[in-house]
Amino acid sequence: MSDIFISYARSTAPEAQRIAEALRGLGYGVWRDDELPAHRSYADVIEERLSTAQAVVVLWSAEAVRSEWVRSEANRAREDKKLVQISLDGSRPPMPFDQIQCADLAGWTGESGAAGWRKVAHSVSALVRPGGYGGAAEPARKRRALSVCVLPFANMSGDAEQEYFSDGISEDIITDLSKVSALQVVSRNSAFQFKGRHVDVRQVARQLDVSHVLEGSVRKAANRVRITAQLIEGAADSHVWAERYDRDLTDIFAVQDEIAQAIVAALKLKLLPAEKNAITRRGTESAEAYDTYLMARQLWLGGPGPQGAETIIRLCQRAIEIDPEYAEAWSLMARTQSGLHHRYGRPETGLAAAERARSLDPGLAEPHAVMAHHLGVIGRREEANAAIELALSLNPDSYEAHATAGGMRFREGRYADAADHYAKACALMDQMASPAAMLMSCYAGLGDPAARRRAAQMTLERAEKALALDPNHGSALTNGANALAALGEAARAREWISRALLVEPDNRAMRYNLACTLSLDLNDVNAAIGLLTPYFHTATIGEVAHAEVDPDLEPLRGDGRFQALIADAKRRLAGAQSADAVTPGSSAPSD
């Protein structure tokens, strides 16, 4: 592992490289994200490197100050007391980082005697033990005093179809513990990398740099549930607390509350009244509605095709029949209806369900993201920005909010900001290939072929996992074709394109994305124009704006046919009776 992790915005890559080389010249091991391995998940590697580094050097710039990704890494370093800050262009670190010393390296060209550089070297030497990870000395990491990884609870029901329930319990416990301010909790994605694997708890604790690990099992049969849980101190592999719960299914919420509060007690933490209320708050009091919602959520996590999406909507509708005030079920239905509307022209937009979810629970981020997307595609940019900023403030770790924000920033031509949001979305939801595919487009716009190739590797890995579950998954075939073409595998890319068009010929977003692949990487302008012609006949203001800045379509810019498609779409939109009218089947292709 490396001694130092460097966090920076994409536009300052040359400065990051210069600083990395200077630190290596001082004998330190340095890592930044240009060294991501092709065979591993982007999010997993970032988490691992950030956790194990002895110092995190954050390079602030005007772009980095706006970057959610850089802020997140800086916040983690601040919490771990290993943050070193540098200003590259005079930008002041944002709050709360402005309370910490920041070295000024504006215009620095590598002089070792510069005052700013001496400050950096001094700060790094105070954090990094001599010998670092390359020597025999034990690294001087400052493990967070109390931190926990909740491993996925094992499904002991003897029925693989019950996996959704054990996963749902695990995710809810992660969410509950995350509400305790005195406890650091590993993200779902980092914890779920161990799903289905026999693990050594001490190794997990070392890898994720946590003090404790929670593991358990769930057995669900008829109306009964048995949950076992044990909290283990990672370094010593010793049990701190263990319990078994045999209850009626209707008591499932009480069991989750008891587990969370037992862990808090075992770790001798003080639970604030607001935190206790947050833990015990559930979206529904109905175990049946909850069970139905978990089934729908598990399907959604798989990135379903149209048939799977229809099943999700039916499950959500059933959950809402049981409990009409179940805001999470309304929200999931809104997201799924919106996806079907935008990709396949289904009449239900999801707006009504999103509005219902917002009225029941204004604190949910996802319904606001649905509203932001719709406002964006019909050209109401200010309202869309207000909605997405609210969504991000309500839940900075919302996958939907970051994926939507990425699309909005992309349509504005702000590729670096879009990349930050899509990278965060990738880290939050490792099953989804679409944000990884959009990262490819962002890096194309930024002129960073190495980063684009890494994003392509990630996209292909995720697409292949989705296709292993459903060989006829049109979106997975599309994202995989995009990645294969970017990686130089033209023959396989064309094969996947043909399959995608056969299984989902009516998926508008898919046709647009395939046209991008044909344009940029396969140099087939005629085929790209053929796919785009019907697409632009129903394109919205947001979609036209997206196409006008999309670097994947750059080879088409000088083609008269493409120029005519854009011009015709603009004339049609200008003549529309209402700017609020959403054409059936309209979407931003990135969703």
Q: State how far the Cα of 515 lies from the Cα of 258, in Å rounded to an integer.
A: 53
> What is the pLDDT averaged over residues 152-173?
88
| Residue 326 near residue 455 (C-beta atoms within 8 A) | no
Nearest to 340 by CA among 379, 370, 319: 370
Q: Is the dihedral of CA 429, 297, 75, 443 positive or negative?
A: positive
Q: Which residue, 208, 176, 179, 175, is CA-closest to 191?
A: 208
Sorted by sequence, the CB contacts under 8 Å of residue 560 that are 6+ apart come out as none
State the burial class of residue 269 (Cβ atoms within 10 Å of its Cβ: 0-12, 13-18, 19+). middle
CA 167 – CA 427 distance, rounded (Å): 18
pLDDT in tens, 35-55: 554 444 556 677 777 887 889
Least confident of 23-32, 157-166, 416-425: 23-32
pLDDT at 590 (0 to 100): 45
Does residue 579 surpass a pLDDT of 70? no
Q: How far apart are CA 579 and CA 577, in angstroms?
A: 7
> 58 forms bridges with which residues in the sheet?
7, 85
Structure tokens given for 332 = 């999931």
- The pLDDT assigned to 44 comes to 62
Query: Which amino acid makes up residue 67?
Result: S
Question: Three-state DSSP class for 378?
Answer: coil
Q: Which residue has the tokens 């996590």?
A: 301
**Which amino acid, residue 410?**
F
pLDDT band at 282 (very low <50, low <70, confident <90, very high): confident
Taken as a whole, the chain contains a residue count of: 591
Type of residue found at 78 = R
More confident residue, 66 or 217: 217
**For residue 571, pLDDT beyond 50:** yes
* Spatial separation of the C-alpha atoms in residues 333 and 351, rounded to whole Å: 10
Average the pLDDT over each of 151-165, 262-276, 330-344 and give the range with the smallest value.
Answer: 262-276
pLDDT of 553: 96
Asked if the model's pLDDT at residue 335 lies above 70, the reply is: yes
Tell me which residue has tokens 């060209």.
109
238 three-class SS: strand
Third-level CATH fold of 4-134: Rossmann fold (3.40.50)
Give the residue carrying structure tokens 């691992």: 48
Condensed to tens digits (0 to 9), the pLDDT of residues 508-525 reads: 889 999 999 999 999 999
Is pLDDT above 50 for 111?
yes
Name 212's bridge partners: 148, 233
Question: 188-223 burial by CB neighbour count: b if 16+ within 10 A, else e?
Answer: bbbbbbbeeeeeebeebbbbbbbbbbbbbbbbbeee
CATH number of 365-574: 1.25.40.10
Rounded Cα distance, 260 and 368, in Å: 29
Question: Cis peptide before 130, with omega less than 30 degrees from 0?
Answer: no
Residue 277 has pLDDT above 50, yes or no: yes
Q: 147-282, what's its fold?
A: Rossmann fold (3.40.50)
* Secondary structure in 3-state letters for 317-353: HHHHHHCCCCHHHHHHHHHHHHHHHHHHCCCCCCHHH
> pLDDT at residue 551 above 90?
yes
CA distance 181 to 344: 43
Residue 158 reports pLDDT greater than 80: no
Domain ranges of the chain: 4-134, 147-282, 365-574
What single-letter DSSP state applies at residue 379?
A: T
Please compute the mean of the pLDDT values over residues 184-204 and round it to a whole number.
85
Q: Please name the residue ranges forming H helices in 504-555.
A: 508-520, 525-537, 541-549
**Average predicted confidence (pLDDT) for the chain:** 86
Bond into 96 cis (ω within 30): yes
H or E element: which one contains 470?
none
Does residue 139 register a pLDDT over 50? no
Does residue 280 surpass a pLDDT of 50? yes
Q: What is the pLDDT of residue 368?
A: 96
Q: If you average pLDDT over residues 485-493, what whole number do you get?
A: 96
Q: Which of 247, 255, 325, 316 is nearest to 285 (CA)?
A: 325
Cβ atoms within 10 Å of 270's Cβ, excluding its own? 9
3 state SS of 244 = strand
**pLDDT attached to residue 129:** 63
Asked, colleague to colleague, whether 147-282 and 365-574 share their fold, the answer is no
- The reported pLDDT for the residue numbered 135 is 34
pLDDT at 463: 93
In 10 A of CB 489, how many CB atoms? 17
Strands (E), 36-129: 55-60, 83-87, 102-104
- Do 286 and 329 touch, CB atoms closer than 8 A? no
Q: Which residue has the tokens 């054409």?
A: 583
Tell me how far the alpha carbon of residue 262 is from its chain's centroid.
Answer: 30
